[in-house]
Structures are given as structure tokens and as C-alpha cells.
Amino acid sequence: MFTGSKRVLLATFAALVPITLIGVFPLFMGRFQVVLLTEIIIWGVFALSFDLIYGYTGMLSFGQSIFFGVGAYVLTYGMTWELGLLLSLVMVLLSGALLGLIIGAVAVKVRGAKFFLVTLVGAILFHLVALDNRWLTGGDDGLLVPLQFGGVVDNFYLIYGVGLFAALVTLVIVRSPVGLVFRMIKGDKKRAELLGYWTDGYRILSFAISGALAGLAGGLYGYTTGFVSADFFHWSYSADAVIWTVLGGSGTVAGPFIGAALLTFIKESLSSTWGVIYPVFVGLLLIGLVIGFPGGIVGLVKRVASWTVSGKEGSTDE
């Protein structure tokens, strides 16, 4: 098997290749493809926010659309009040984290199916409140987002940079001592508590970081489309994040991006021809993956790599 340092080198190389390719993508591709890739990165960040609380901390939350919607509106108002893009994005992060602390503090009091229900009902409530308060959200009709960048490519590089930042920050967190506690809580909350950790505190922290990331994705999506509406709070956004993460591989930083990329690409490809069968296709794909490869695409790749290495080692022994 690979030693620790070799594994790190391989992983770094495996990450740098797609990052570089994506970075030069707009130089060779058309407008439609650049817009699609921009959207994929945003969805990747959104799925990553879910992965942090589910894949790393073990909480199946359906409340991500709350943060997504709030992030989109905070950015919209920030831009409307002419705070500038950077300050607006900082506000998005802070508001997402603060809301994550509040919602997390309530949600961690319940466990299992109740936790799932509380977060789902929370998302539905926020959606209804947003629909009813047109003076603030514009309801169904939504609000226009004042833009700072005009071009598709400029916007792509903005999203690309923020997406890299989000992935890097998440990577640092999950590999830190705090990230280890998240993973311990996912493995056995009771056991982590017996070791002296205030597990509810860590779960709330995970919620806050996740809320900041989901808010960031919402802000970026609103900024990219130039429009936000109460529908940004719809729970189906949360469901998408779940599907992308499970498909790509939960508990990994790359998995949510891969899942989001694959399904967004498939959705766009099928929508013009077989749009009706898209949900059926995604459903079958998910069932197959969950049964056959619970680690998602990243888990599958890791397993194949492991087979290849052990196969080679086996043949050397012979």
C-alpha cells in the first residue's frame, strides 16, 4: 500500500489536475458551458455544506435550503444597499453562521427521525414565511440582484475562487482536531460524550459552519442568476444537496462537487430531450449506488484503486 506521504502527494496531484483544468475551462469553451460549470461549482459548495453536517458529523438535515435562501437575500440586500460584493459576501457568511448557531441549538435537542423532521419542517416554515412576506422577499415574483460583474467569464472566476476557498476551508476544518471530533460524533455520539466532549456544542458548531457555506452558495446563486425569490427556501433544494452528496460520496470534500457536477450535467443533457425521465433516472442511479456502493463515486474510485494496488502487490508476491 501507499505510505502516508505518498498518499498525500497522490491526493494533492489528483486534486490539482481537475482544479487546473476547471480554471482554464473558459478559455476553450462556449458561453453555455461556462454558465453550466459556474452553476455546478455553486451546487458543489451547497452540497459541501450538507456534507459537513451529514458526512462528517452524522446529522441528516433537510434544513439547508433555509441557509441557502437567507444567504441569497442577505447578498441581495447587501448589493442593493451598495455595500459592495466582498462585504456582502462576508455578511452572507456571518448571517449563515449565526442562523446555523440558532437553528442548530434547537435541532440538536432531537435525534434520528425527529431531527430529520424538525429540519424539514423548519425549511417548509421558512418557505411559507418568505412567500407571505412579499414586502421583504418579493414572494414568488422575487427581487432583482444588482450586479457588479457583467461578464459570464468574470462571474465564473469569482465563483471558482470562492468555491476553492470554501473547499479549502472545509478541508482544513475536517482535518483539524475539531473535524476529528465531528467524525467521532458521527461514529458514536455517546462514546464521544464519555470521552469528555460536549457533543451538542460541536454539533451546533458544525451547523454554524455548514450554515455559512450553504448561505454562501445561496448568495452566489442569486448573484449569478441576478434574481432571488421565496422559492430559494423550498425544501427541494435541501433534497438536491442530499442527493448530490450521497451520489458523489459523503464524508469527502470532493464527493459533493462530483455528485453535483454529474447530476447537473445529466439534468441539462436530458432536459431538452428526455426531461420527464430525469427523476426516474436519478432515483434508479441512487438506489443502485446506495445498495452497491454506499461510499458513492469517491468510495467506488477508492475501492477500485485499492483493488488495483492490492492486485499488483499480489502479483509481485507470486
Q: What's the closest the beta carbon of residue 190 comes to other proteins, in angstroms?
A: 8
Convert 7-29 to b/e letters by CB count within 10 Å (16 or more is b).
Answer: eeeeeeeeeeeeeeebeebbeee
Q: Which stretch binds other proteins (CB under 8 A): 26-34, 157-165, 191-199, 210-218?
A: 191-199
CA–CA separation, 161 vs 34, rounded Å? 14
Q: Which is nearer to other proteins, 199 or 224 (CB)?
A: 199
Question: Where does this chain touch other proteins (CB under 8 A) — which range of 16-24, 127-135, 173-181, 229-237?
Answer: 173-181
d(CA 95, CA 251) in angstroms, rounded, equals 25
User: 130 vs 246, which CB is nearer to other proteins?
Assistant: 246
Q: Strand, coil or helix: what is 62?
A: coil
Among 14, 90, 194, 280, binds other proteins (CB under 8 A): 194
Task: Give min distance, CB of 263 to other proteins, in A.
Answer: 26
Helical (H) or strand (E) element with 94: helix 85-107
- Residue 191 touches other proteins, criterion: CB under 8 A: yes
Stretch of residues binding other proteins (CB under 8 A), selected from 48-56, 137-145, 180-188, 253-261: 180-188
* Residue 111 grid coordinates: 435525534
Which grid cell sits at 11?
A: 491526493
Please give the Cα distance from 71 to 213 (Å, whole number).
Answer: 9
| Of 105, 146, 152, 193, the one binding other proteins by CB under 8 A | 193
**Interacting residues with other proteins (CB under 8 A):** 4, 177-178, 180-181, 183-184, 186-188, 190-199
